[in-house]
Structure 1
């Protein structure tokens, strides 16, 4: 079967312990924490459903069976991790399910207000120039985030490390470089560093608002943000 240059598969990260959520994740995994009456993972899957992604893979570890039960009946594949592998290791371990083509990766702990970030990434993806294209949030549009930012973006979208825009947790990327990383558990930062060294890591600026739901304060901010949406 010929390989595609356009992603039609998404990897949704759902394996972490969610320790910053405190008591909220003592009995449930963070992807099942409710925001405005719906689980975080359902808000994330809404984004993929809206653009017709054909294959969805969810990685699991902490209270993984609860997530399996919650998603029962949906066309979703699961990559169970015997130990926490971090984002890069989790993606590498899931490659047999994901296949060799570029993939979307999506964190399950953010709420977006505005255009669908996946649709925007798909429209801007250019595999001839890019090994990855990530959605970046200007600090003034980010709620629940206290850092200095992750990347500086040049006029053409090419990225370098440094204070500035915030990685929003959704991207398109090629996965071949994962095989060059001789570790089981590692951050996607190692793969991004490969791409940065080749000048092939790119970003796209999100025009709407974004909320990091990493702690209970972020949960309240997310619910307030959803409450401002037009019905």
Structure 2
């Protein structure tokens, strides 16, 4: 399955404090490279038909960083659209169904997360497949988890596994939401009700780089276990 990849890169990065005063969070460096480039390595590792990154805060810097590459930019000029609205706005550029989505504020160590999703994807049973990680393998991230995963892979709300920001999703349920600004949580809740939201556990390590302390944690993780085997 080739698909297309949506990279979420539009957020304000307020939890990063002064580090995002003059640049967007995706351009903060971890191990000498911008977070956006770490995510691009993962996206390119599955040879997608297209890669699209959305941009809002300091959008001109994201666009300049991606200039000359194959990545298209979905500009959210007037207002930030949240994850669901951002993905829906980018669907014409992605031109694929299903699509991968990947947050850019995380670093991985282990197999390519998008390849894992592609290999496990079953459109006969799934409308979305989320990649999660046990809390013990989630670096720089607190909490008991976001989803419970049943033996058959169906996901429901509850503690148990941390959502990593990587998923594969059918485009239809996203396109069907009438509002312009909305979270993917709304889409997932509908899938939970239909029994079509599934989740998969990632066997490697994952680090949340949403706060300044996440940078050192991610760099230590990469030193210990290497990066993504693309």
Instruction: Give the TM-score normalised by the residue count of structure 1.
Output: 0.95
Shift in CA distance, 187/217, structure 1 to aligned 2, threshold 3 Å? same
Quick check: 1:100–1:176 contact (8 Å CA) kept in 2?
Answer: no
Is 1:25 matched up with 2:24?
no
Q: Deviations over 1:108-155 (max 9, x none)?
A: 001111111111111100001100011011001001111221100011
Question: 2: CA distance between counterparts of 1:57 and 1:106?
Answer: 10
- Aligned partner of 1:172 in structure 2 is 168
- Aligned partner of 2:40 in structure 1 is 45
Q: Deviations over 1:29-71 (max 9, x none)?
A: 0000000100000000101112211200110101111111111
Quick check: 2:139–2:207 contact (8 Å CA) kept in 1?
Answer: yes
Question: 2: CA distance between counterparts of 1:51 and 1:96?
Answer: 20
- State the Cα RMSD in Å: 1.2
Quick check: 2:148–2:158 contact (8 Å CA) kept in 1?
Answer: yes
Q: Which runs of 4+ in 1 moved over 6 A?
A: none
Alignment of 1:201-212 (within 5 A): 201-212=197-208
Question: 2: CA distance between counterparts of 1:187 and 1:147?
Answer: 20
Count of residues paired in the alignment: 226
Alignment of 1:1-231 (within 5 A): 6-82=1-77, 83-230=79-226
Quick check: 1:7–1:172 contact (8 Å CA) kept in 2?
Answer: no
Question: 2: CA distance between counterparts of 1:87 and 1:230?
Answer: 29
Question: 2: CA distance between counterparts of 1:100 and 1:210?
Answer: 27
Question: 2: CA distance between counterparts of 1:139 and 1:32?
Answer: 26
Structure 2: stretches of 5+ with no match in the other structure: none
Structure 1: stretches of 5+ with no match in the other structure: 1-5
